[in-house]
Structure 1
């Protein structure tokens, strides 16, 4: 009888989807390879140059090696055994196949000795500027692979977390009352058991990540950190001085709480902030913004901002309006004058929400101190 037999073994690629078949560390590789089979596995950015014997003696049917360094004999064998191999790309300032999120130490490596321009973050931005308009399909493919790998790592990191997004402009200066308020908000949300996620840049975004970092310490720690940071109030004229001040805070108070930053190289003038412990940095800004909002399952807070923050309000309002994610995500806009007079997004948001399921999930408050209660109320209560 033609076709698949009732007791036939499914292909390795199908079996791979029945469990966790991603391998993202050498320890995971060593554990799996003891079974004698890597069939159907995805091995992501693992240095296998010292694992030649294991690769020569292991089944690699329908496995995929993404950016894994290995000896030529091992690479030839796994290809012959049915594996697909994407080799590491030399001379890139970033790893397109990375299996984990960035950390601030990685992106700012070299900052202390050589300044910001020598860091991987700055060098990757310059590569992006050189390739974004040259029409090279290879460079475009590398950017896409990188951003997809970052999204996968972000999903793994946030699995099961209650995430609150904090949006706001990069112009908010250290030393200002607004910056201190955003930091207190990040601290309060973190102490309430939420995972703070921001756009990962300076200003309001940095303040919220700083507050999350400060959550385990006494309240006076944040006051002292704010004083220290105020010596470099903005990332212009010197990103180096701005970033060094942040790392001075981290050295003075090591072991802060974790939070997430989701910045982009699209805005090259916006460096990432050093207080987000886990950084999902993207080339494509639209993917970054939608991904951050979609993962903010416990609500989104909008601090005063300009065009980017306005865009984020309606990027979130649109799926809420059509209920494409099930229950609409609570949205809290902070600073009544800003959102009704200076940039009147609130009246339009109200007009959109009329007679829609999102109506009881939006609120406008005067200060950051009102945000936690507003989020709790919007989980089931009426609009304010």
Structure 2
């Protein structure tokens, strides 16, 4: 695996969007044909402990990396400490502008902003962009917490506050710490990860219970059926755990669930 150190962008040189990557706050250009290795990948890469030289290098490198991780937490806390009532929204980066799923995100962002909530998303394209767009155009606070990825990681243009993170776990902390509710639009593996992390945090009492809403009964219904028919049937979860996720069909219903929880 090649650990590429991309060149800083030169404003005088035209750059294809596919070449642009982020490393924390820095915007970089990856040389054509080179593999881009993210900070998370480098951090989690396995090193053979029998290779003493490589292990020593890894130990020194990780010790310094702790300072970078600390700085990301500090930057996030400083940037978001004025956020009041906020709702974190998750959804697919692959949703196309103008599609029904995209317009649902726009409507959700608009209604959340009209209800007085700040909107927090992953800051990227697709459903994230749609929700930020709706909040931004309604005059609300529109926050995007972007992540260093080999793909799908450019910040959308509808943000009143945008941040780039190197590490998933730092970014996830910000999603949870500054939100009083989670809403999930249709999405893929990343959305499922974020959904079930929220459920786990509430189920285990790691956070004060707050609404977790999924929009789209046709899309999410089979997942909730599986939770009931497989996990609950096998007694892997408790009956009350089924109440941790509320399924609705429209953005308006989702906002009503958030309001009914008493968040204001």
TM-score when normalising by structure 1: 0.52
Separation in 2, partners of 1:111, 1:282: 26
Paired residues for 1:120-139 under 5 Å? 120-123=26-29, 126=36, 128=38, 132=42, 133=45, 137=58
What is the aligned length?
A: 230
The higher-RCO structure (CA 8 Å, 6+ apart) is 2
- Superposition deviation, residue 193 in structure 1: 1.7
Post-superposition CA distance 1:15-61 (Å, at most 9, x none): xxxxxxxxxxxxxxxxxxxxxxxxxxxxxxxxxxxxxxxxxxxxxxx
Give the 3 Å change call, closer, same or farther, for CA 147–93 of structure 1 in structure 2: farther
How far apart, in 1, do the equivalents of 2:178 and 2:206 lie?
14
CA distance in 2, matches of 1:126, 1:184: 36
Larger radius of gyration: 1
> What is the Cα-based RMSD across aligned positions, in Å?
3.4
How many Å apart are 1:281 and its aligned residue? 2.2
Q: Is the 8 A contact 2:90 2:128 kept in 1?
A: yes
The alignment status of 1:354 with 2:239, answered yes or no, reads yes
1:271 aligns with 2:153: yes
Evaluate the alpha carbon distance shift between residue 166 and residue 93 of structure 1 in structure 2; reply closer, same or farther with a 3 A threshold.
Answer: farther
- The question of 1:170 aligning with 2:93 is answered yes
2:104 is the alignment partner of 1:181: yes
1: CA distance, partners of 2:205 / 2:197: 13
* Structure 2: tracts of 5 or more residues without a match: 48-53
Q: Which residue of 1 aligns with 2:128?
A: 205
**Structure 2 partner of 1:232:** none
SS of 2:164's partner is coil
| Structure 2 counterparts to residues 1-384 of structure 1, below 5 A | 110=11, 113-116=14-17, 117=19, 120-123=26-29, 126=36, 128=38, 132=42, 133=45, 137=58, 140=62, 143-159=65-81, 160-216=83-139, 257-265=140-148, 267-274=149-156, 275-296=158-179, 298-325=180-207, 327-341=208-222, 344-345=223-224, 348=227, 351=232, 352=237, 354-355=239-240, 359=243, 362-379=245-262
1:193-217 deviations in Å (ceiling 9; x for gaps): 211111122111111111122113x
